[in-house]
A and B are shown apart, each in its own frame.
Chain A
Amino acid sequence: MNRVRLILTVITIVINAVPVAGVLLMYQNNLLGLVVPPEINTIVNDVVVPEEQLGGFPGNVTFVDSHYDTTSRTAMLTFEVTNPLQFDMTVDSMSADVRCDEHDFPLGHATINDPVAISAGETAEIDVAGTWTQDALHHFLTAHAGAKNVDVELTEISVTVNGVSIQTGEIIKIPDFPVM
């Protein structure tokens, strides 16, 4: 019986010590590698974009075009968004408040209708739709009488990418936005 106990004790020691000792021997010249595998360095170096390359939140967002449908009072903004990551991403939703740049007057709310998939390192166009409020139309008639275009800004921007929600205090200014 003592022999059985001895055998079981030896087995316990061997199955616990051998794998750990083996890995320790393999990484004896690089002990940090025991807990930091090369893949983490790959993620840090290749996948995560340096901040200077990211260039601030709106740095990857370029305003392309806009048009206004008078019947539905809907403004359509087109942006080019670049995915700087080595990882495909999907813009699930985006929303922002639209304000008059000159008077800081709230004009409406802008959102995207459908999710947009952007492959790693690629650029895609995102259409953002916004509807002017009655107050906004009144503001255009009183404060911007006769003007066809108004400088607006997007504030309180919220973007959900791959289930991660990003809310920024950054402001995107859009000059000469068609309002009539």
Chain B
Amino acid sequence: MKSMHLRINWVGLAGGVTTIVVVAVSLFYPWWQLRVGDGLVTANVSPLNTSFSVLGTSFTMPLVWAMNIASILTFLVSGITMIIYSLLPAKSYSKTLLGFAYKKPLYTLLVFVILLFASTLLVQTLLHFSVPLEGSTNSALPIPLIQGTTVSALISTGFQLPFWLAIVAAGLCIAARIYHKRVAAVQEQEVTLVVATPIAPLATEASAE
């Protein structure tokens, strides 16, 4: 019964399903959001769906959009592959499926965090106004509007639900890789038992003769 239970990598199954859920949620909510003032500027940043809104006009960059599509497909393929692996962890190709699937959410997450951190640092260095990764700050905006006039705005940023969900998905996928060793060990024991079973009747037959 226990070995039946271990024939499915439940952690991997959860990881695969969560990865697909991340894709679905990310279509509606960004991973990280920046808001300037009261709806003057909004940046919805996500590896899967990035868009901007300036003074009520929404837009996305075609190159970023293409990269988002690539990320969506990567996440979907990763999730589906992880699910297939989890249901068939004992197959000869399972480790290849697992090796392909478990890294994608983690790598995407790491690249996203590094690029986000680098972007905020770049803005701070070049434009001399601070953009926090999480929280609110009142920053003077570098707008050469009129001499003697300073413009400052409340900048609010924050990681949203899909980001935390992506961390969970990446964690589950890594856990699935670790859990695979246990599943593989049980599988090896089963194979040993299956190989050992026919020897006993042969021995009995030999002694009868």
Contacts and interface: CB of A to CB of B under 8 A. Distances in A.
- What band does the interface of chain A fall in when counting residues whose beta carbon is under 8 Å from B? 35 or more
A40 B59 contact: yes
A57 B92 CA distance: 73
B62 interface: yes
Given A56-B146, A90-B38, A163-B38, A35 B96 contact: no
A20 B40 contact: no
Interface centre among A35, A37, A85 (most CB of B within 10 A): A37
Given A1-B93, A37-B59, A47-B54, A20 B66 contact: yes
Contacts of A43: 54-55, 57
B91 to A, nearest CB: 9
Interface of B: 36-40, 54-67, 69-70, 73-74, 77, 81, 92-93, 96-97, 100, 138, 141, 145-146, 148-154
A168 interface: yes
A15 interface: yes
A175 B54 CA distance: 39
A160 B176 CA distance: 52
Given A47-B55, A169-B148, A19 B67 contact: yes
Interface in A22-47: 22-23, 26-27, 33-37, 39-40, 42-43, 47
Interface string A164-176: 1111111000000
B62 A26 contact: yes
B86 to A, nearest CB: 16
A47 B74 CA distance: 37
A155 B60 CA distance: 41
A16 B74 contact: yes
Given A12-B77, A20-B63, A162-B39, 19 more contacts: A4-B97, A15-B74, A15-B77, A19-B67, A19-B70, A34-B63, A39-B57, A39-B59, A40-B54, A47-B57, A86-B55, A161-B37, A162-B40, A163-B153, A164-B152, A165-B138, A167-B149, A167-B151, A168-B146
